[in-house]
Amino acid sequence: MRSLLLYAVAAVAAAQTPVFVEIPAGSFEMGCGPGWPCAESLPKKRIEIERFRIAKTETTVAQFRSFVRAAAYLTDAEKAGDTYTWQRPGFQLNENQPVVFMTLNDAKRYCEFVGARLPFEAEWEYAARAGSTTFHYWGDEIDGRYLWYFGNTDEHPEPVGRKRPNAWGLFDVEGNAMEWVLGGGPHSSVTRPGTGTVRGGSYAMCPEPYPPDHGKRQRFIGLGPAFPGAANSNFRPEERRFDYGFRCAQTIR
């Protein structure tokens, strides 16, 4: 009986551990073209990426809950006494949704707990692109078969892994939850130490929420910087929002 109980506990714990996908080494072109404000911190250039691993899906509510129980962890939102937190997000909670109201601090702590880290900005984009050179990993226009966004959700994130993955088997890299990433690495729009940025767009975003600026389309769901109209992407480590989530990565030595 005891062995069966231990097996059941281990099985539950394993189910709440992220599944990682190995990303091959390679190079890609990253950055903003001339004329965009984001080119100030992230000029377009080709960069090299070493192989690493990244989680197949965004971190889920169930996975984060397992960490909270094991580590007795309180998120920044909870410590601040916020009305909305990862457990009380203002919409019906599903254990397989990406966890939201996450800060950079929260994301780092979870990833450390599971023997991982957050991806660097360049690693995230390289993995999300999976060899594609288009605006999205599937093409140049929004396609609801691949992502959850304002046009096909009901004001909340959806369970992970239900849309079509990219060529490397990663789900929801665009839409659903915006994902925290680290500055530094081979190329980054983050210019202030200790800060991070978010990538990929979310369930709350429209494909083109604002009119063209000087003839250029302003699209905030995509594989590039989340806010291309900004000169840099310095997000405070305690910043949190209804659509800020994350996925973890691992260095391969």
**In this predicted model, what pLDDT tens digit does every residue of 197-244 receive, in sequence order?**
999 999 999 876 666 666 667 677 999 998 888 999 999 999 999 999
More confident: 34 or 75: 75
Q: What is the pLDDT of residue 206?
A: 83
Residue 2, in any domain of the structure: no
Residue 11, in any domain of the structure: no
CA dist list (Å): 210 to 57, 216, 223? 29, 11, 18
Residue 8, in any domain of the structure: no
Residue 1, in any domain of the structure: no
pLDDT band at 35, cuts 50/70/90?
A: confident
Domain, as residue range, for 132: 17-253
**Cβ 47 vs Cβ 28: under 8 Å:** yes
pLDDT band at 159, cuts 50/70/90?
A: very high
Q: Which runs of E-coded beta strand occur in the chain?
A: 20-23, 26-30, 45-49, 52-55, 178-182, 196-199, 244-245, 249-251
CB atoms near residue 126 (< 10 Å): 29
Residue 12, in any domain of the structure: no
CATH number of the domain within which 228 lies: 3.90.1580.10
pLDDT band at 4, cuts 50/70/90?
A: very low
Residue 92, in any domain of the structure: yes
Please tell me the total count of domains within the chain. Answer: 1
Q: Please determine, for residue 5, whether its predicted confidence score (pLDDT) is greater than 70.
A: no
pTM for the whole thing?
Answer: 0.91
Q: What is the pLDDT of residues 39-64, one digit of tens each?
A: 999 999 999 999 999 999 999 999 99
pLDDT band at 14, cuts 50/70/90?
A: very low
Q: Please determine, for residue 156, whether its predicted confidence score (pLDDT) is greater than 50.
A: yes
Q: What is the pLDDT of residue 211?
A: 64
Residue 139, in any domain of the structure: yes
**Cβ 248 vs Cβ 118: under 8 Å:** yes
Q: What is the pLDDT of residue 228?
A: 86
Residue 72, in any domain of the structure: yes
Average per-residue pLDDT for the chain: 91
**In Å, how far from its chain's centre is CA 113?**
18
